[in-house]
Amino acid sequence: MALRVSVGDISAQFALDANALGNLKLQAKNDPKQALSAAASQFEALFMQMLLKSMRDALPQDGPLTSDTSKTYTGMFDQQIAQQLSKKGIGIADMLVKQLSKTLPQAPGSPDAPTTTSAKARSAIVLQAPATMIAPVRPSAKDAPAAPPTAGSVAATVQGFIDKVRPYAEAVAQKMGVPAHYLIAQAGLESGWGKSQPRASDGTLSRNLFGIKATAAWKGATVTNVTTEYTAGQMEKTTASFRAYGSYTDSFQDFARLLQKSRRYASALANTHDAGKYATSLQQAGYATDPLYAEKLTRAIQTVARYGPAAIPATQVVSAPADKRDDLA
């Protein structure tokens, strides 16, 4: 008979159990309150493990019985002891539960529970590294309309970005044969929805919405910024030179030229009928080093699609808009 251990009782779990996190995620869906307590206990155990490690490091490390193997087993032992000690706790878990329980959904009928059905229909958007948005929840026909996004909220930031760059995207969509909302989503992903554009040392915007770097062949203006790259799956910070544009029209047009003139992006342009295939083709062609780039771009496209009239025909002829130099500052 298999031994079943409660997720909340971390003292009875093996410290290196790879399934523990998965079980905790599952419990978070079924019983958020109990999962919060378990997560807080895990955090307290991690803190205590750090204390034990600090004490170990303060002791002499050399000896006749000291080896890499003994150090490995000592670390595993400390990890397990930390979980055992966290059962009694030192107060950190209780403090976390007290603070974070206020953010959990309230049970129906409780004093803090929502009194209108529209609360269930609020758009929920989550930012991802660096700024990918998960598609928001739209209210169903049976729900009351959700309140509009408040100024300064994440939803308002995304909606504002979509509204501002839509004309520029539409202007090049017809030439590229790429749906305009694909372009909007990629510009949003690369620029943090307009908030993380590369800037010059004096703060001047580069208007580079697609994160295009300045190679030796680039003869235009440039800015140097810190950026995140992935090498062999490992994330690291580095500095890079990025192209700078005089307008957002130039940014979209340069992105269009990049995809159309480079053979390696031919597969992406051939898969514009499917957002997932388009995103995967870009990643495979080396557009970005992030191993999750295709997944993030696909979700960003879904987000833009659900915010408004999504399927903007790629064949629709639209005049290029006049640029406002700081409309996304």
Return the number of other C-beta atoms located less than 10 Å from residue 98's C-beta: 10
Alpha-carbon span 83 to 10, nearest angstrom: 6
From the candidates 9, 163, 229, 327, give the one annotated as an active-site residue: 229
∠ CA 318-321-322, nearest 5°, is 160
Alpha-carbon span 144 to 120, nearest angstrom: 9
From the candidates 44, 78, 170, 254, give the one annotated as an active-site residue: 254
Q: Which helix (H) or strand (E) holds 128?
A: strand 127-128
Q: Across the strands, what pairs with 239?
A: 226
Instruction: Please answer whether residues 100 and 36 qualify as being in contact, where contact means their C-beta atoms are separated by less than 8 angstroms.
Output: yes
DSSP string across 309-323: -----TT---PPPPP
- Catalytic, 229? Answer yes
Q: How far is CA 208 from CA 134, 174, 205, 251, in A?
A: 23, 21, 8, 6
Q: Measured in whole angstroms, how far is the alpha carbon of residue 276 from the centre of its chain?
A: 17
Rounded to a whole number of angstroms, the CA Rg of the chain reads: 25
Alpha-carbon span 237 to 189, nearest angstrom: 18
Angle between helices 154-176 and 248-261 (to 10 degrees): 50
Instruction: Please answer whether residues 104 and 32 qualify as being in contact, where contact means their C-beta atoms are separated by less than 8 angstroms.
Output: yes
Alpha-carbon span 328 to 78, nearest angstrom: 51
Say which residue the tokens 């520029």 belong to. Answer: 168
- Catalytic, 323? Answer no
Q: Annotated active-site positions, please?
A: 229, 254
